Amino acid sequence: MSPSSRTSRLARDFFDRDVHEVSRDLLGARVSHDGVTVRITEVEAYGGIGDPGAHAFRGKTPRNAVLFDRPGSLYVYFTYGMHFCSNLVAGPHGQGAAVLLRAGEVIDGEDRARERRDVPGKPPVPARDLARGPARLAVTLGLSRPHNGLDTVAPDCPVLVSAPNGSVRGPVRTGPRVGVTGPGGDGDVYPWRYWLEGEPTVSAYRPGVLRKRRTRP
DNA sequence: CTCCAGATATACT
DNA sequence: GTATATCTGGAGC
């Protein structure tokens, strides 16, 4: 491993801060699991209780309980009947705030990633798409239900969240949440999405995604 | 690039 | 019982 790519595991203090600070600082960080390492290029902040878009909006439930665990815990949930997405719990502890890992670049273990992402008989997935999107990122890293609740701060945790020592990071961009009003009410948008400018692994925002009513029988 | 159907755990009435 | 969900892959422009 070259000196420039040397990293260290992130500590509890890193995660036990305001979710927006943690979100920003996770850009450029690495997440490794089971032979694959992804460099994070896009995240979203979820403010926990009081954030209408957050799973923790209405407080603690069996499903979202991990969000109320210690900062640095990994919250993996199942959604849309077929996808897993992964979050890292942020501070303050007990508020249910977390950072959704939305996209990244595979920087190690691409072969292993392809074993999980490529479909036999179909053209290989373009490299930039391997971890572009929260559910794709989870597949690429091999994260699913059993990993929910892992404490990534623990030295023996199989999921390693690390950051380069003294490395430079590109410009950080932020975007507002579209179509969701904050707790303050009308028009109170919350800049919740963070990404690294110019990264090909960051997809264009799909605003509003007006979901059609499910097909009626 | 944009549009759209898919398939199911979870939380709420 | 019903509505919703931190989305993706494929089709069509």
pLDDT interval class at A5 (50, 70, 90): low
- Long-range contacts for A152-155 (Cβ within 8 Å, ≥24 apart)? A152/A9, A152/A10, A152/A72, A152/A73, A152/A74, A152/A88, A153/A9, A153/A10, A153/A11, A153/A12, A153/A15, A153/A70, A153/A72, A155/A9
Q: What is the pLDDT of residue A207?
A: 53
Percent with pLDDT over 90 in chain A: 66
Nucleotide nearest to A203 (CA to C1'): B1
Say how far A167 CA is from B6 C1', in Å.
Answer: 42
Output A29 or A209, whichever has higher pLDDT.
A29
Q: Is the CB of A77 under 7 A from strand C?
A: yes
Q: Is the C-beta of residue A78 closer than 7 Å to nucleic acid chain B?
A: yes
Range ranked top by mean pLDDT from A45-49, A72-76, A115-119: A72-76
Distance CA A155, CA A11 (A): 10
- Residue from A89, A103, A111, A158 nearest A135 by CA: A103
Task: Express each pLDDT in A90-101 by its tens digit.
Answer: 999 999 999 999
- pLDDT tier at A181 (50, 70, 90 boundaries)? very low
CATH architecture of A6-196: Roll (3.10)
Residues 47-76 of A with CB under 7 A from strand B: 58, 61-64
Residue A72 backbone class (left: φ over 0; alpha: ψ -120 to 50; beta: rest): left
Given a cut of 70, whether residue A7 has pLDDT beyond it is yes
Q: Where are the domains of chain A?
A: 6-196
Q: How far is the CA of A187 from the C1' of C9 (A)?
A: 33
Chain A residues 30 to 69 whose Cβ lies within 7 Å of strand C are: 44, 46, 53-56, 67
A149 Cβ within 7 A of any nucleic strand B atom: no
Four-point Cα dihedral A193, A197, A199, A202, nearest 10: 20
Nucleotides on chain C that have an atom closer than 7 A to a protein CB are 4-10
Tell which phi-psi region holds residue A47, choosing left (phi > 0), alpha (psi between -120 and 50) or beta. alpha
